[in-house]
Amino acid sequence: MEPINDLFQRFEQLNAIGVALSSERNIDRLLENILLAAKAITHADGGTLYRVGEDRQSLRFEIVRTDSLNIAYGGTTGEPISAKFQDLPLYRENGEENNTLVAAYSAIHASTVNIADAYAAEGFDFSGTRKFDQVTGYRSQSFLTVPMKNHENEVIGVLQLINAIDPASRNVCVFSDADQRLAESLASQAAIALTNRLLISQLEELFEAFITLINLAIDEKSPYTGGHCQRVPSLTMMLAEAVDATRDGPMSSFRMSDKDRYELKIAGLLHDCGKVTTPVHVVDKATKLQTIFDRIQMVDTRFEVIRRDAELAMLRDVSAGADRVSAEQAWHERQRAIDDDRDFLRRVNVGGESMKAEDQERVRRISKTYRWVDGTGTEIDFLTDDEVENLTIRAGTLTQAERETINYHIVATIKMLESLPWPKHLKRVPEYAGGHHERMDGKGYPRGLKRDEMSVQARIMGIADIFEALTARDRPYKPGMKLSQALHILSNFRKNGHIDPDLFDVFIKQKVYLRYAEQYLEESQIDDPEASLAI
């Protein structure tokens, strides 16, 4: 008869274990804690936790521990277990139940097996155990094998404990009835905790799969944003982890739990989900005149018409008696001017960082210099007002109206995310995702928030979004910048109130930009950025 105090203490321990198991999010740690808890309350020297395979044809080793031999495989040890132990088959090749293996028997029949001495037991095959003992000098004696059943009474695993140790004499003894009841109770709680964790993990995987589906839809619409939707979350988490690791300075108090990390990760993945509403021809606008097609081709055709008309006019003048040499010379000069203006429009059609004012004025002058007759016989300007507006875009390839269309994606993102019934641990996803285009000085969009009105996470995402855009190699309108260029621009953004200065300092000091570059940028983009920061 066990002392009542010992039983009471073990019941208290069992209750505490149940609470701890229900709060564990990591599957490996959960499995490890289950076995360690079972060993502790039964005073077992060793133990193994098996899980039933997805095909329900075998038991897979998950955790193995033997204290007296210092054996620890699986779980959080970093010691892989799959290469050391083969799965235990639940059924033979002919389909018969594999009842000779005690762990398989327990799983198949959903029953506990308590064996006083494996060397004297009948009906079970302990040859593998004996081989292990011969190699290690160990003696596996008492066994307690308990099935783990979920809420549907389905066996999902097996808990096997080896060699109960008498607390007083420290000798190996039989697992008592109290040990068995405690182990069975723990196995039941553990199975529920494991099932709950697996269900939550499956729901999270399904949820993330839907997010991936949204990003895939954006990617299918435009190959220029699909990579962005994956790279920004990655850089966001890199910077967030660097800030979390900061122990001095203005950001030293920022800390993230596992739940905080998951919330920020989801926000990063969804930060541009509103782009599903953005017209493809705007997102993919590679040149200034591009819509469904690049209208520079129409401009080229007009130049050919102008060239032909000039040649016909020259020939008519010669036929009418004009000096042929002078007429042809004037025509050749006209042809060179046409070619020069055509080449100029082709060049400015490609968006750049900045278009000179004199180049913008030249576009307008070309529009008025050449006249041509349209299909109705009306003489009109060479370029339409819309073509002039597009060709004189100062930076990039988008007009102001198109920029507003692009910018609307963040409004759409906020509307979409705020319409979802987020659980408590994801409540801030809309705020994090919806704030990455705000500025510290309040000049951002869509809400014009200032720094103190934004979370650290939203400010982190703002830096990640800008840096990714600057260095991206898959944009249709520009090559990916070198590190030095991108960091110089970010440094200026820090000074003019665009991005958070404290987060930028962490970005630089912790060399987050370099870790990101080594993973995502071309080798030719990774130059010496230090000089750019001194500018």
* pLDDT one-digit tens code per residue, 472-530: 876 665 677 899 999 999 999 999 999 999 999 999 999 999 999 999 998 889 887 76
| Residue-level pLDDT at 276 | 83
Would you say residue 507 lies in a domain? yes
Q: How many CB atoms lie within 10 A of CB 408?
A: 17
| Residue-level pLDDT at 396 | 84
| Residue-level pLDDT at 21 | 67
Domain extent for 227: 222-281+412-533
Would you say residue 173 lies in a domain? yes
Same structural domain, 272 and 329: no
Tell me: the pLDDT tens digits for 261-278? Answer: 999 999 999 998 888 888
pLDDT at 226 over 60: no
Same structural domain, 323 and 273: no
The contacts found for 153-158 with CB under 8 angstroms, 24 or more apart, are 153/110, 155/52, 155/107, 155/110, 156/51, 156/52, 156/191, 156/194, 156/195, 157/49, 157/50, 157/51, 157/52, 157/62, 157/107, 157/191, 157/194, 158/49, 158/50, 158/52, 158/59, 158/103, 158/106, 158/107
CATH number of the domain residue 463 falls in: 1.10.3210.10
Same structural domain, 69 and 110: yes
Q: Given the structure tokens 């435009």, which residue do they identify? A: 222
Q: Which of 165, 199, 233 is the last residue of a domain?
A: 199
Please tell me the distance from the alpha carbon of residue 480 to that of residue 372, in angstroms, as a whole number: 40
Q: Which of 168, 199, 230 is the last residue of a domain?
A: 199
CATH number of the domain residue 79 falls in: 3.30.450.40
Percent of the chain having pLDDT more than 70?
93
Q: List Cβ neighbours of 515 (8 Å cut-off, separation of 6 or more).
A: 238
Q: How many domains does the chain have?
A: 3
Task: Name the more confident of 25 and 20.
Answer: 25
Same structural domain, 419 and 518: yes
Give the residue among 454, 480, 449 at the shortest CA–CA distance from 467. Answer: 480
Task: Name the more confident of 84 and 174.
Answer: 174
Integer CA distances (angstroms), 105 to 56, 92, 109, 159, 412, in order: 13, 12, 6, 12, 57
Would you say residue 229 lies in a domain? yes
Q: Which of 167, 199, 231 is the last residue of a domain?
A: 199
Give kind and range of the element (H or E) at residue 339: helix 324-349
- Would you call 17 helix, strand, or coil by DSSP? helix
Same structural domain, 35 and 177: yes
Would you say residue 290 lies in a domain? no
Confidence of residue 282 (pLDDT cuts 50, 70, 90): confident
Paired tokens of 339: 């070619």
Same structural domain, 174 and 80: yes
The contacts found for 81-88 with CB under 8 angstroms, 24 or more apart, are 85/61, 87/53, 87/58, 87/59, 87/60, 87/61, 88/50, 88/58, 88/59
Same structural domain, 370 and 429: no
Please tell me the distance from the alpha carbon of residue 228 to that of residue 158, in angstroms, as a whole number: 45
| Residue-level pLDDT at 535 | 44
Cα end-to-end distance, the chain, whole Å: 81
Q: List Cβ neighbours of 202 (8 Å cut-off, separation of 6 or more).
A: none
Tell me: the pLDDT tens digits for 306-322? Answer: 888 888 888 988 888 88
| Residue-level pLDDT at 82 | 73
Please tell me the distance from the alpha carbon of residue 435 to that of residue 433, in angstroms, as a whole number: 6
Same structural domain, 68 and 12: yes
Give kind and range of the element (H or E) at residue 59: strand 58-66
pLDDT at 227 over 80: no
Average pLDDT (8-22) is: 63
| Residue-level pLDDT at 80 | 79
Same structural domain, 346 and 392: yes
Query: Do strands 58-66 and 371-373 pair parallel, antiparallel, or not at all (unpaired)?
Result: unpaired
Same structural domain, 390 and 458: no
Residues recorded for the chain:
535
Would you say residue 205 lies in a domain? no
Would you say residue 158 lies in a domain? yes
Distance of CA 438 to the CA centre of its chain: 22
Does the pTM of the predicted model rise above 0.85?
no
Q: Is the dihedral of CA 189, 193, 199, 203 positive or negative?
A: positive
| Residue-level pLDDT at 15 | 61
Same structural domain, 362 and 437: no
Tell me: the pLDDT tens digits for 355-407? Answer: 899 999 999 999 998 887 777 878 889 999 999 999 999 988 888 888 888 88
Confidence of residue 1 (pLDDT cuts 50, 70, 90): very low
Tell me: the pLDDT tens digits for 126-173? Answer: 988 899 899 999 999 999 999 999 888 899 999 999 999 998 899 999
Same structural domain, 41 and 104: yes
Tell me: the pLDDT tens digits for 44-63? Answer: 999 999 999 988 999 999 99
Strand boundaries in 244-303, DSSP class E: none
Give the residue among 409, 406, 534, 532 at the shortest CA–CA distance from 481. Answer: 532
41, 10 contact by CB (below 8 A): yes
